[in-house]
Structure 1
Amino acid sequence: MADNSKKSANHQKGDPNTTGHSWDGIEEFDNPMPRWWVWIFILCVIWSFGYWVAFPAWPGISKATSGVLGYSSRGDVADEIAQFESRHDALFAQILETEPADLADNEDLHRFAVNAGASVFAAQCSQCHGAGGAGVQAGGFPNLLDDDWLWGGTKDDIVQTVAYGIRNEDYPDARYSEMPAFGRDELLSEEEIQQATHFVLSLSGSDHDAELASAGAEVYDYNCSSCHGVEGNGDPFMGAPALNDQIWLYGGSEETIYESIYSSRFGVMPGFDGRLREAEIRAVAAYVHQLGGGE
């Protein structure tokens, strides 16, 4: 190691002292830091003290110091959200002033309603109906992409359904119907339920036992046709599904149809009146309507 107190053998006149370190004979001059760098460093230290006082900086037990300026990045985000909501309020007001059936007449307003409704749907409805609205058969959550509507598929019908829900106890205006449990409550015999099952299968053109279906026609006529219709067309006023197509809420197999007749189905949907603004309910109705199956 070179001795810092002495000049090295390679030291020339006018050279500064070395640091005292030597690597393979290479020595390092002990030059002072440039003045401009030192002053920048000092100014940064002074600026940091000012920042600590003016802005949130030091963490505490429950929160950081707030700073004398009271700045908050959360506040900035809240202000931006408020600005966007302020701009959207005017459009939401227009949605309220427009009948749901007439919304598509204003292309720009309809586009905004659909986009706003998509956000509401993703946050409030997709958990049951799926991100794309295709529903979940295993849980009895309806597919919103087809044109088979239990309670009607007009925009006004959808607004009513979204606002008050189905078979819940929270809203007097909730849509309500209840299918008898023909097997559980011993309204029909096991044989009659089998016959009715195969008749329903025949209505939709599914594989069935012709002999059982023939006998089930009378069982269906006496017990089911008042709600589902003589030809199985269903009744949106009562929320009775059509049975003469291949669209099934809980599945169209012999087992699932038998279970529906035996134990009944009683799906419940919450209402969103009071949880969403009326304009948001209309917006999500516009979104659902344009998915492809709206009447």
Structure 2
Amino acid sequence: MFVGERDPFTGHQTTGHEWNGIKELNTPVPRPVYFFLITMGVFALAWTLLMPSWPYGSGYFKGLLGVDQKQAVAKSIEEATTGRAHWMTRIEEEDLLQIQSDTDLMHIVREDGRTLFGDNCAACHGANAKGNKGYPNIAQAPMLWGDDPQTVLQTVTVGINGTDPNTRVSQMLAFGRDGMLTKDQVSQLAGFVVSLSDPTTVTDNNKEDMAKGKDLFATNCVACHGNDAKGIVESGAPNLTDNHWTYGGGRGDIYQTIYSGRQGHMPSWGKRLTPAQIKIITLYLLDLRKQAVGPVTGGAS
């Protein structure tokens, strides 16, 4: 074997390399390879000359076209800020009903509201606003203080048991822990409360306990929840006859609520968000309540 040997089949010289009887041919580089190499080189040179490229000292070569991505981004942000300022001003100045009737503004409310809700509310109420145990379903359940726009705006602003001087106040007394009722009485009352939303729990075997529970309810609960147990909006007391429960609607959950009491908390968002942002969250939530479907997973707000 020697360099310059020709392959009898192709007529190409060999390189002198051989692997397991296979000889390497000394064939020319295909022309398309040269074409692409030259094209790529020309493109790289042109790009280097036309666009920002090599750094030097405290600066860099800015390119013959003068393209500046930093200025482009700054301009884009400026345009977005100008556009945002226009509709933010409208949201700040117009009342809630006006905004609700404006298709363009409600489109912005849905987009911006989803972000604001996700950043500030979803940790407790869930991404779909349907709540978690201990945090109410504000997408479907009746609002404790009412669901008209201005009332919801006020609730979001001042919070519940929050730091605002005008905060909403909501507290369930600890009837068992504080000795107002015995454990047996708490159990009887819990059984009666369960029956308010599920009458099938009343049987011949527990009618006597149910009657005692009803008397206990009349003595201890109607002041907040009303004679019909459907709640009192003015005081933020929940309706006990539906299937919306913040802390669970099972007998054990209700027993624990009556025995130990509850005191929920919602931040006073007026101290954390701008008036426009609170408006957006309020309108987003009300819009969400119109569209909410599916099984109930949480309780009233």
The question of a shared fold, defined as TM-score above 0.5 by the shorter chain, is answered with yes
Could you say which residue in structure 1 is the equivalent of 2:175?
182
Against the structure 1 CA distance between its residues 198 and 103, is the aligned structure 2 distance closer, same or farther, given a 3 Å change threshold? same
Once residues 2 and 276 of structure 2 are traced to their aligned partners in structure 1, the CA distance between those partners, rounded to angstroms, is 82
**More deviation, 19-28/151-160:** 19-28
Give how far 1:79 is off: 5.3
Aligned residue pairs: how many?
273
Give how far 1:263 is off: 0.4
Could you say which residue in structure 2 is the equivalent of 1:161?
155
Q: Contact between 1:147 and 1:153, CA under 8 Å: does it hold in 2? A: no
Cα distance per residue 1:59-81 (max 9 Å; x no partner): xxxxxx97576x99788656544
Give how far 1:107 is off: 2.1
Structure 1 unmatched runs, 5+: 11-17, 56-64
Q: Aligned letter for 1:210?
A: K
Give how far 1:272 is off: 2.2
Cα distance per residue 1:103-126 (max 9 Å; x no partner): 222222222222221221122212
Give how far 1:293 is off: 5.5
Cα distance per residue 1:168-210 (max 9 Å; x no partner): 2x32222112221011111111222122212212322341432
Against the structure 1 CA distance between its residues 52 and 100, is the aligned structure 2 distance closer, same or farther, given a 3 Å change threshold? same
Secondary structure (helix, strand or coil) at the match of 2:235 reads coil
Q: Show the 5 A alignment for 1:235-274.
A: 235-274=232-271
Against the structure 1 CA distance between its residues 146 and 47, is the aligned structure 2 distance closer, same or farther, given a 3 Å change threshold? closer
Once residues 222 and 53 of structure 2 are traced to their aligned partners in structure 1, the CA distance between those partners, rounded to angstroms, is 78
Task: Report % sequence identity.
Answer: 29
Secondary structure (helix, strand or coil) at the match of 2:54 reads helix
Q: Is 2:110 the partner of 1:114? A: yes
Once residues 227 and 79 of structure 2 are traced to their aligned partners in structure 1, the CA distance between those partners, rounded to angstroms, is 56
Q: Aligned letter for 2:187?
A: Q
Give how far 1:35 is off: 11
Against the structure 1 CA distance between its residues 86 and 274, is the aligned structure 2 distance closer, same or farther, given a 3 Å change threshold? farther
Cα distance per residue 1:105-162 (max 9 Å; x no partner): 22222222222212211222122111111111x2x21112224112221211222222
Could you say which residue in structure 1 is the equivalent of 2:125?
129
Q: Aligned letter for 1:28?
A: N
Q: What is the TM-score when the length of structure 2 is the normalising length?
A: 0.75
Q: Contact between 1:164 and 1:173, CA under 8 Å: does it hold in 2? A: yes
Once residues 72 and 209 of structure 2 are traced to their aligned partners in structure 1, the CA distance between those partners, rounded to angstroms, is 70
RMSD, aligned α-carbons? 3.7
Q: What is the TM-score when the length of structure 1 is the normalising length?
A: 0.76
From 22, 26, 32, the equivalent of 1:28 is 26
